[in-house]
Chains A and B, each alone.
Chain A
């Protein structure tokens, strides 16, 4: 059925429905944004995100929304080179493979640094900064900015301290200003991550001139200022931040790599994924982040919408708390894995969009191996293992899941049913999204879901995060002396071949002792308007507004 509108164009039923969808989507987007968004000019990018940035300080905040903000407001010294994604035409990704023929064995290139020199022994790295780079406050980048940035990590002892310990940088004097544009990081012991950590999203460089200007005696590191403002050398400046509503970023005309194509970015908080999907479908937003598998599948069939699905560093698993019985026993942990219906979960809950988590680190990182995977669904084997562990009649335990992640509840219910077969009674605990991370980090739950990705694409870094008994991210309380030693040795040598051998051995032990219930590699699925180009996948699993252009 078609009719004609006032301008004489035929109006089809599909158009009416489409307009209705846009209206519904718009209605879900409060205030004037809906109309503003649907009529967005080509230089305006509207993003529907689950949350606005809580803080803009990478030393204190790891919440969703903050990632995108940090990537827009700040730049790093180095970056990985970009290559076309092998699985998705038109998409790009960081080249994180080992390149023995390249400097540092990596495909890294200068960003704020125009060049760098890495000690073959891995004890120092020297950066030659790009002259003439200005911050959003008009201050020129110098070696003092790099020095102040690292001093801030020492001074605040927060997230930055983790990077310091990862590098083995134990004193501020390790970072030396060697000239106006020359700065070096010097270590007592060799460290293989000296160059690899530099492109990390949470290693941005601050404008120290501005930060010192706003610092006070009570706040020498300008925490209050950086929490709500930006002082960086990135492509955007912060125009507005209304937490819980939206953040607006404006492109910087004086950005040293040229003004980004997207002049204005409206980063809007839309907590429900279904609403985000509707808004994208109706054309009210350009990008809908963090959608559920069913929504992604539906959007794939929509006109004017595209979904880029690429391999990612994301993993989802269940922490089995080794300090809460019976999970101290590796046989019980193995049994829990044999009882997990992984294939069915991937097929149903993930709609085939995820791959099996068949290792203990991202499968896109060099050094990963799946040769130790053995946990195909086998309830008989699970029962036998429980019997060996002296739990032939089963046991009772609980699993905590995140109320804010809709895939976790069905996985938990499917697992609960599967565990009944081996006599394990599983109680489910729904934890509000706001307090879920606390529940994980407290390590008081026998079993809890966890979704994470190691941002540094390195086998040693990944294994250290989750399986070093001293790591603050080792939420399963896993401890194995041999694994600890292998991790320590790996972090103190620059011999990549030896590192890979040691980490293969560590993966063997970890997979055998199963501190997790291995669920899935969910992949990264980026839903956008079809005319938006330039999507690039980063191991930090966030987007960078400066990558995007729009077809006319």
Chain B
């Protein structure tokens, strides 16, 4: 069967081979040129890569155990052995700030991926069958109205309620994040699939006798995935924020797990009394990370859109 991913629009933005370069080398060169032309994108990637590297290496680079309280160094200001100071239980803030993305990113990435997979799959099926025979149309309507209902709830309140139902644990927060994000991916994929299913290569596959599942899996989904990838990055940043928010209100990870939101919550009361460092440093780390993911998301949005990519490559010469 010759009709595949490469026949779809996802491949239409690739440029003709020049000078016999390997495709990956060409793409890398283009990517680097984009980063040079758009420094904000470069900053985003630097932040995200930096946070990931720190999260991975945290056990080897932190100077203190992030979960050991030492009353002898209670609320020490930044400086000396404790670079960012200590908190109200005598825990080293620098070590905890570096450790925190292990939890925040794990929860955010897991929650977002689960929602993307589930939301994407449901969206693809709904989009593919929409407007067809009666029961399929009914199913599609039911799913879309259910998504409306889910999205009608304030996301944060809904997430708190879910954590309350499932109990306070990392798993519960992942479920909560996945649950509140599913409708986003569902709608995104559905709208993509609605337009893709009209294209000729899909019709060709149908005429060739391919099953619905095969058409969806091999021809529709691969061509609908680009906006999802862009959304993923933005959503991961947002999920980090949601995780921190849940922890801030006491519905997130259990203390003393190093997590930015819970660190801010533990220290914010001390700002009035002059001990700003237990909450300000995790706040900065959280802000930077979300900012980084937002920039990466913006770059993927440009790179994944063939039209905008063509404009960009034109401007790069």
B250 touches A348 (CB 8 A): no
**Is B269 in contact with chain A by the CB < 8 A criterion?**
yes
Chain A residue at smallest Cβ distance from B70:
A417
**Of the 9-residue stretches A212-220, A407-415, A473-481, which lies at the interface with chain B?**
A407-415
B69 within 8 A of A: yes
Stretch at the interface among A4-12, A230-238, A291-299: A291-299
Taking A413-B69, A416-B69 as contacts, is the C-beta distance between A348 and B90 under 8 angstroms?
yes
- Once the chains are docked, how many angstroms separate the CA of A340 from the CA of B269? 25
Check B89 for interface membership: any CB of A closer than 8 A. Answer: yes
With A348-B74, A413-B89, A414-B90 in contact, is A406–B256 under 8 Å at CB?
no
Q: Which of A336-380 contact B (CB under 8 A)?
A: 341, 344-345, 347-349
A432 x B68 contact (CB < 8 A): no
Contact A416 B71, beta carbon cutoff 8 Å: no
> B315 at interface (Cβ–Cβ under 8 A)?
no
Given contacts A403-B250, A413-B256, A429-B168, A298 and B274 within 8 Å (CB-CB): yes
> For residue B68, which residue of chain A has the nearest CB?
A417
B222 interface residue, CB < 8 Å from A? no
Within 8 A of B (CB), among A390-442: 403, 406, 409-410, 412-414, 416-417, 427-430, 432
- B89 close to A278 (CB less than 8 A): no
Indicate if B272 sits at the interface (CB-CB under 8 A): yes
Interchain CB contact under 8 A, B273 and A294: yes
Q: Residues of A within 8 Å of B, CB-based: how many?
A: 31
Given that A348-B90, A428-B255 are known contacts, is A277 also in contact with B272, CB under 8 Å in the complex? yes
Q: Which of these, B69, B71, B269, B274, contacts A406 with CB under 8 Å?
A: B269
Asked whether any CB of chain A lies closer than 8 Å to the CB of B191, the reply is no
B254 interface contact, C-beta 8 A? yes
User: Are B269's CB and A428's CB within 8 A?
Assistant: no
In the assembled complex, the CB of B56 is this many whole angstroms from the nearest CB of chain A, namely 26
Q: Which residues of A contact B269 (CB under 8 A)?
A: 272-274, 292, 295, 406
Beta-carbon contact of A295 and B89 below 8 Å: no
Q: Which of B69, B250, B254 contacts A417 (CB 8 A)?
A: B69
Q: Is the interface of B mostly helix, strand, loop or mixed?
A: loop
B249 CB, nearest partner CB in chain A, Å: 8
Determine if B89 and A410 form an interchain contact, defined as CB atoms under 8 angstroms apart. yes
Contacts of A345 in B (CB 8 A): 71
For B273, the chain A residues whose CB sits under 8 A away are 274, 277, 292, 294-295, 297-298
Question: Residue A274 contacts which of B72, B254, B272 (CB distance < 8 angstroms)?
Answer: B272
Does B5 make an interface contact (CB < 8 A)? no
Closest chain B residue to A415, Cβ basis? B69
Q: Chain A 257-284 against B: per-residue CB contact (8 Å), 1 yes, 0 no?
A: 0000000000000001111011000000
Chain B residue numbers with a CB within 8 Å of A298 are 272-274
Residues of chain A within 8 A of B271, CB atoms compared: 274
Name the A residues within 8 Å of B91 (CB-CB): 413
Known: A294-B273, A297-B273, A406-B269. A427 touches B254 (CB 8 A): yes
Chain B nearest CB, measured from A416 CB (Å): 7
Per the bound structure, the CA–CA distance linking A292 and B268 in Å amounts to: 13
- In this complex, the member of B74, B250, B255 whose beta carbon has the largest number of chain A beta carbons within 10 angstroms is B255
Q: Which residues of A contact B75 (CB under 8 A)?
A: 294, 348
Report Cα–Cα, A405/B135, bound state, in Å: 55
A314 to B90, CA, bound (A): 26
Instruction: Tally chain B residues at the interface, Cβ within 8 Å.
Output: 27
The residue among B71, B72, B254 with the most chain A CB atoms within 10 A of its own CB is B71
Note all chain B residues with C-beta closer than 8 A to A341.
71
Residues of chain A with a CB closer than 8 A to B254's CB: 427-430
**B37-65 CB contact bits vs A (8 Å, 1 = yes)?**
00000000000000000000000000000
B74, A294: Cβ atoms closer than 8 Å: no
Q: Are B275 and A344 in contact (CB under 8 A)?
A: no
Contact of B266 among A274, A409, A432 (CB under 8 A): A409
CA of A374 to CA of B280, assembled, Å: 41
Taken together as a complex, chains A and B put the C-alpha atoms of A409 and B89 apart, in Å, by: 8
Once bound together, how far apart are the Cα atoms of A347 and B70, in whole Å?
A: 12
The reply on B283 being an interface residue by CB < 8 A is no
Are B256 and A416 in contact, with the CB atoms below 8 A? Answer: yes
A278 contact set on B, CB distance < 8 A: 272
Q: Is A344 touching B71 in the complex (CB atoms < 8 A)?
A: yes
CB contact list, B124-151 vs A, under 8 A: none
Question: In the complex, A220 Cα to B158 Cα: how many Å?
Answer: 42
Q: Does B313 contact A (CB under 8 A)?
A: no
CB of B270 within 8 Å of the partner chain: yes
What distance in Å separates the Cβ of A515 from its nearest Cβ neighbour in chain B? Answer: 25
A348, A403, A427, A430: the one within 8 Å of B71 (CB): A348
By a CB distance below 8 angstroms, the chain B residues around A412 are: 255
Evaluate contact between B266 and A414: CB separation under 8 angstroms.
no
B255 touches A413 (CB 8 A): yes
Q: Which residue of B lies closest to A273 (CB)?
A: B269
- On whether A430 and B168 interact (CB within 8 A), knowing A416-B256, A417-B68, the answer reads yes
Tell me the bound Cα distance from A223 to B88 in angstroms: 44
Complex alpha-carbon distance, A347 and B271, angstroms = 20
Q: Which of A297, A341, A349, A413 is the most central at the interface, judged by chain B CB atoms within 10 Å of its CB? A: A413
Docked complex Cα distance between A273 and B274 (Å) = 14
Given A294-B273, A294-B275, are A349 and B88 neighbors across the interface (CB < 8 Å)? yes
Q: How far is the CA of A412 from the CA of B254 in the complex (A)?
A: 12
Bound state CA distance, A417 and B168, in angstroms?
A: 21
Contact A428 B274 (CB under 8 A): no
Contact partner of A410 among B68, B88, B250, CB < 8 A?
A: B88
Residues of A within 8 A of B70 (CB): 417
The residue in chain A whose Cβ has the minimal distance to the Cβ of B256 is: A413
In chain A, what residue has the closest Cβ to B253? A430
Most B CB contacts (10 A, CB to CB) among A341, A347, A406 go to A406
Cα distance A412–B91 in the bound complex, in angstroms:
13
A273 to B89, CA, bound (A): 19
Minimum CB distance partner of A293 in chain B: B273
Chain B: CB-nearest residue to A411:
B89
Q: How far is the CB of A113 from chain B (nearest CB, A)?
A: 45
Residues of the A chain whose Cβ atoms lie less than 8 Å from the Cβ of B68: 417
Cα of A438 to Cα of B184 in the assembled complex, Å: 38
* Interchain CB contact under 8 A, B275 and A428: no
Nearest-neighbour CB distance to chain A for B243, whole angstroms, equals 15
Tell me which of B89, B168, B268 contacts A414 (CB under 8 A): B89
Known: A344-B71, A344-B72. 8 other contacts (CB 8 A): A274-B272, A275-B272, A294-B273, A345-B71, A416-B256, A417-B68, A428-B256, A429-B254
Binding site for A on B (CB under 8 A): 67-72, 74-75, 87-91, 168, 250, 254-256, 266, 268-275
28 interchain pairs, CB-CB under 8 A: A272-B269, A273-B269, A274-B268, A274-B270, A274-B271, A277-B272, A277-B273, A278-B272, A292-B273, A295-B269, A295-B273, A298-B274, A341-B71, A348-B90, A349-B74, A349-B88, A409-B88, A409-B89, A410-B89, A412-B255, A413-B256, A414-B71, A416-B69, A417-B67, A427-B254, A428-B255, A428-B256, A430-B255
Which 3 pairs between the two chains have the least Cβ-Cβ distance?
A344-B71, A348-B74, A413-B89
